[in-house]
């Protein structure tokens, strides 16, 4: 479970990094709060942050359910894959938004793996 805790912290650090990057882009693009549009680089950075936040609602609970009921090593590996996917997504989105697909696919595959393993293990415990 130590690796799962480490992966959880790395996911949170990654999200914090994306949030700081969006905040920096807001200042650099002179986008005054509460505006959410106005500078393309800010909008891209904000989308990376917000899409990551949306994914975390699936990732974090599934990560811990998978670790608790299935296997912690599988959960940690899938969590690490999620982190990689988010960085690939961010790099693609910041460079050319049409290139965000591979990172999204990696993230979705990691989340699907976490959810499927979690569901399988919880159902197996019930039977």
Mean pLDDT, all residues of the chain? 97
Contact 88, 32 (CB under 8 A): no
Percent of the chain with pLDDT over 90: 98
**pLDDT tier, 99 (very low <50, low <70, confident <90, very high otherwise):** very high
* Neighbouring C-beta atoms of residue 20, cutoff 10 Å: 12
What is the domain extent for residue 46?
2-126
| Dihedral sign (CA 96, 108, 71, 49) | positive
**What does the alpha-carbon distance between residue 66 and residue 61 come to, in Å, rounded to a whole number?**
8
Q: What is the CATH number of the domain that holds 48?
A: 1.20.120.550
Cite the beta strand spans of 1-127 per DSSP E: none
pLDDT of residue 46: 97
pLDDT at 118: 98
**pLDDT by residue (tens digit) across 85-98?**
999 999 999 999 89
Domain count, the chain: 1
Per-residue pLDDT tens digits for 33-63:
999 999 999 999 999 999 999 999 999 999 9
Query: For the whole model, what pTM was predicted?
Result: 0.95
Tokens of 22: 């969006």
Q: What is the predicted pLDDT for the residue at 103?
A: 97
């Amino acid at each position: 479970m130590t690796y799962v805790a480490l992966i959880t912290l790395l996911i949170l650090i990654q999200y914090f990094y994306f949030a700081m990057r969006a905040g920096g882009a807001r200042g650099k693009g002179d986008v005054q709060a509460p505006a959410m549009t106005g500078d393309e680089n800010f909008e891209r950075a904000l989308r990376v942050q917000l899409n990551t936040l949306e994914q975390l609602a699936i990732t974090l609970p599934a990560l811990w359910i998978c670790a608790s009921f299935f296997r912690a090593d599988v959960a940690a590996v899938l969590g690490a894959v999620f982190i990689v996917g988010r960085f690939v997504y961010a790099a693609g989105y910041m460079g050319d938004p049409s290139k965000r697909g591979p990172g999204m696919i990696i993230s979705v595959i990691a989340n699907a793996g976490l959810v499927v393993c979690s569901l399988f293990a919880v159902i197996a415990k019930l039977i």
